[in-house]
Amino acid sequence: MPTTATPPTRTATPPRAATPPRAATPPRAAASPRATTPPRKATPTTPGNAAATLTTTLRSRATHHNKSLGRKGEALAAQYLESQGLTILDTNYTCRHGELDLVATDGQTLIVCEVKTRSDPSFEPPAAALTPRQARRIRESTESWLTLHHVPWVPIRCDLVAILWPPGDPPTLDHRRAIL
């Protein structure tokens, strides 16, 4: 005997409860001149206040310039090291101890490179900017990098690439090996 398919039965869904209409909000009364708050007055420019504002603006610009110059210097240092036969393994590695600008290898030795870039020759020479505290941070960051990448024992060398890059002039590069 042929069977006929019976359509599935639908269960009736209960009707949705009607949402109550929103209460009408009374129209706002026209604001009287006294009800509005007066606009804030600008802080008077005093010699001390203007100097503080100018100092903040100049610091902001200098920070942007320094970061931009630092990035350019690190890129130049990486190109230089590659031209010397090194392989760049990592750039700007950051951990809780600090930052490693460049991590490279010559196939036998791990080379951690600190890059110091300056635009003003009258300022502190880039090579003199490496402090004992920074040297400690480089050592600790290197240990962190080795742990993260599961590198077994390997000889390590720490180099400094000092770049002097005055505006409008070509950069000069000084590569100092085994500074630590």
- SS3 for 78-126 is HHHHHHCCCEEEEEEEEECCEEEEEEEECCCCEEEEEEEEECCCCCCCH
Low pLDDT (below 70) residues in the chain: 1-67, 122-123, 125-127, 129
pLDDT at residue 180, rounded to an integer: 78
pLDDT at residue 71, rounded to an integer: 84
- The residues, any chain, with a CB within 8 Å of residue 31's CB and separated by 6 or more, are none
Contact 153, 107 (CB under 8 A): no
Sheet holding 156-164, edge to edge: 87-95, 98-105, 110-118, 156-164, 172-176
pTM for this entry: 0.61
Spell out the CATH class of 49-176.
Answer: alpha beta
Structure tokens at 114: 């600190």
Cα(173)–Cα(109) distance, rounded to whole angstroms?
22
**pLDDT tens across 13-37, in order?**
555 555 555 555 555 555 545 555 5
pLDDT at residue 168, rounded to an integer: 86
